[in-house]
Amino acid sequence: MMQSRWRDVEAEALVEHYARAGVNRDLALRVYSSRLLGGDRRLVLHGGGNTSVKTVMAEVTGEMVEVLCVKGSGWDLAAIEPAGLPALRLAPLQKLAALEALSDQAMVNAQRNQLLDSAAPNPSVETLLHAFLPDKFVDHSHANAVLALADQPDGDALCAEVYDGRAAVVPYVMPGFALAKLAAGTYRDHPGIEGLILLKHGVFSFGVDARQAYERMISLVSTAEQRLQRGPRKGSARSAPPRRPAPVAEVAPVLRGLAGECTDAAQAVWRRQLLAFRTSPAILDYVNGAELARYSQAGVATPDHTLRTKNWPLITPVPEAGRLDAFATAAAAAVARYIERYHAYFACHNTRLAAAKTELDPLPRVVLVPGLGLFGLGKSAKDAAIAADIAETTIEIITEAEAIGRYQPVGEADMFDIEYWSLEQAKLGTTAEARLARHVVLITGAAHGIGAATARAFAAEGAAVAMLDRDAEGSAQAAAAIDGAALGLACDVTRSDDVRAAFDEVCETFGGVDIVISNAGAAWQGKIGEVSEDELRASFDLNFFAHQCVAQNAVRVMKAQATGGVLLFNASKQAVNPGLDFGPYGLPKAATLFLSRQYALDHGADGIRSNAVNADRVRTGLFADGLLQARATARGQSVEDYLSTGNLLNREVTVDDVAQAFVSLALARKTTGAVLSVDGGNIAAALR
């Protein structure tokens, strides 16, 4: 049952903290209780919900003016700051209530006109609802328990009965000016209420101070929870789950491939998505439900989820272990039907609107897999996780709604109006994606040196990176230092079961792999006529066979995705220009260079490119540094001089230069079987 998490000591500490920055008490307390709401996923999720406070602030002239501080778009209640609650002059906003109608564009403009700070984010689309309610503090959430009651065919009567005069019920109207007027009118007609239940949408509470508004929210939600528990509750029938479902690591790449689309065949450009997997007993009960096809397709629990999850999830057939081909065929047909349905939905609702809309991509954002669980999908790991979180919450809401009645959210036409809202449409195409956004990159030997630099470079291009290294702690630390989605994994690439396990974990985490940089290596020295067989074999294990094992796993996943892919090998100048006493290193590297070409030849038809980088004289902070020292000493030079004067350009080559070479080969869509030298110029190692 929901409990108030308000603590006076914490609230006062925050008031004191913000007072030092010149933030007034009202706004500081608004921040405090907004975070309490945002921190409970039963109330709001990922940017959902909004809050406001009416207070007084100074204009630039020093004149004090009544303002509404309301959540700005792009802010999440869980982590909101005073800057996330921009101040608007209240009186001019309240005057808007006299208008009969106001378009969304005009409303946004009227709101922006009243900002004290012209650079503030756009105030919430529900700003006028907050402004038109007279109470000082107003809280709005999309609480699960309230939605389980409000998303019922008789939600109106049910909520009226449950709240019995404590809260009034507002019929569904799309957020904006009309809803603000309707809510304000309902409030006037029901003096003394503590809140408003917005059918098919959520709940508002209000109060004279922050604590009262917040605790009324908790109380209204608790009342809904009690009603759900009281029942009578019915169980739901389950379909028989598969005897043995296929592993997530094998299902994910198949779905990832199907849930992407080729947007430019000539350039082999794909609109890929990343996947986030979730499962639990509750999720399994839901996806194995006999009536899954009915309740899962009814629509989103509250309208703004549609922007993250689309209106319906995709349902796949059951993936049975050992029968993945059959699953792939059936899942492909399910995706095709999904896309067809989406096009039909767009065509149907687009015609009833005056201004034609631009169709969004028709790809699913949530996939329900009976026997297994659910996947959230998105253009980044973060977006995929958000879609998965919303899907998981939706399951909780639908399960509760079905237990006491029947889940019936807002209809398709209303959801279309949200998905194709003019203000959302205006944002289309305004932000360019990073060059390697939507890509998953796996790098071996990634804890240090070239591998770590390469991970940073790919992350900077927008990719999610998986960093494998024998040094478990090092890979975890290197991944934690990445700005973006990064997974650090312990992996000894000379052990094939380790490599397989690492690829499995990457598929479970991100859904698959698009670019693999086989970088791990180490130098062995020895005169070739004298070196022991054991040493030579050890070098071949790491400098050749490990590359083969990594590449084979990469091809396996890439073929399951069927969206192409890139293999990149760290060869070495040793592969073309043997160094004295470096046979044990150069021989397997030469084989690896050839390996790269063999992959280009054998898997070009799969859309998989294969290229190599030959780097030389790079200070890595690793094994090669001892080697650099030895060579510099042999020439009577310091390492610094050796590095900066030992090549044609007299320029030192850094790990970041090598990383950029990998990035450029990953981006070179028409290049395969190539070798790129990054050595400042070494004519003896030049390829011919």
DSSP class per residue in 331-398: HHHHHHHHHHHHHHHHHHHHTTSSSPPPPPP---SEEEETTTEEEEEESSHHHHHHHHHHHHHHHHHH
Element (H, E) at 593: helix 583-603
Q: Which is nearer to Zn ion, 174 or 562 (CB)?
A: 174
Beta-carbon count within 10 A of 576 CB: 20
Q: Which is nearer to Zn ion, 172 or 540 (CB)?
A: 172
* Residue nearest to Zn ion as judged by C-beta position: 202
Report d(CA 485, CA 467) in Å as an integer.
11
Question: Cα dihedral sign for 250, 606, 600, 618?
Answer: negative
Cα 273 versus chain centre, distance: 9
For the segment 202-221, give every residue that binds Zn ion (CB under 5 A): 202
Which residue number, 183 or 339, has a Cβ lying nearer to Zn ion?
Answer: 183
The residue annotated as part of the active site, out of 286, 345, 420, 585, is: 585
Nearest distance in Å: CB 392, Zn ion: 19
Q: Residue 457 has what DSSP assignment?
A: H
Rank residues 43 and 546 by Cβ distance to Zn ion and give the closer one. Answer: 43
Least spacing, CB of residue 140 vs Zn ion, in Å: 6
Say which residues have a Cβ less than 8 Å from residue 638's Cβ, sequence separation at least 6: 632
Q: Minimum CB separation from Zn ion for residue 204, in Å? A: 9
Q: Phi, psi at residue 171, to the nearest 5°?
A: -65, 165
- Round to whole Å and give the CA distance between 609 and 485: 24
User: How many other CB atoms are found less than 10 A from the CB of residue 61?
Assistant: 7
Is residue 585 among the annotated active site residues?
Answer: yes
Site string for Zn ion, 163-202 (x = CB under 5 A): ---------------------------------------x
- Give the nearest distance from C-beta 63 to Zn ion in angstroms: 33
- C-beta closer to Zn ion: residue 298 or 301: 301
Q: Rounded to the nearest whole angstrom, what is the least distance from the CB of residue 198 to Zn ion in the complex?
A: 7
Question: In the numeric block, which tokens belong to residue 313?
Answer: 């999830």
Spatial distance between the Cα atoms of 7 and 24, rounded to a whole number of angstroms? 19
Encoded tokens for 159: 């909520």
Place of tokens 């799309």: 174
Task: Provide the 10 A C-beta neighbour count for residue 641.
Answer: 12
Instruction: Kindly determine how many residues on this chain lie close enough to bind Zn ion according to the rule CB under 5 A.
Output: 1
Q: Is 47 in the site for Zn ion (CB under 5 A)?
A: no
Q: Which residue from 460, 274, 271, 482 is spatially nearest to 381, judged by alpha carbons?
A: 274
Q: Could you give the C-alpha distances from 267 to 258, 262, 490, 554, in angstroms and in order?
A: 19, 9, 35, 22
Active centre residues (catalytic)? 585
Catalog residues that contact Zn ion under the rule CB under 5 A. 202
